[in-house]
Amino acid sequence: MEDIDADNTKTNSFLDLKAGDILISIPNNGFKFKSALMEEHFNENYMESEKFPKSEFKGKILEIEKYDFSKTDSYKVKIEGTLTVHGVSKKRTLEVTIYREGAALIGTTKFIISLADHNIQRPQILWEKLSENIEVTANFEYQLYQKK
């Protein structure tokens, strides 16, 4: 097995601290790999980015009333929601660390996505190289929304 890494800085996320609602929208063609060929295989054969242009997570922070995000404390929260990848939606509970850094809130998480859960086929040419499970690390910085 070879580690295959990609970054996506085109992702958008919105967090409502009063209701605890979170939405994350990920353009599948926004992932950048170390080689153009990897990126092409990912978009055309793996994620089928033309057919499934985005992935998303919609969820809610459980027991939001327990947390005071105005403090500099770090909180491990559970977020229950639906993860949609490759057109297939699955209920997920994610553990996310949220902390304040200056005026921003930072959210970080790491979780596993099973290819089988989202009907993603490993292309035959890559059969030996791709794992059945993909480790996802996500880092988000939230700024306070100011009405104009």
Whole-angstrom distance, CA of residue 138 vs CA of residue 67? 21
Position 72 scores a pLDDT of 84
Position 148 scores a pLDDT of 73
Whole-angstrom distance, CA of residue 34 vs CA of residue 30? 13
CATH number, domain 7-142, options 2.40.50.140, 3.90.650.10, 3.90.79.10, 2.40.128.110: 2.40.128.110
CA torsion, ordered 30, 35, 39, 44, to nearest 10 deg = 160
The list of the chain residues with pLDDT below 70 reads 1-3, 123-130, 146
Position 42 scores a pLDDT of 87
- Work out the end-to-end distance of the chain between its first and last CA atoms, rounded to an integer number of angstroms: 51
The residue ranges of every structural domain in the chain are 7-142
Predicted model pTM: 0.88
Position 131 scores a pLDDT of 76
CB 51 within 8 A of CB 37: no
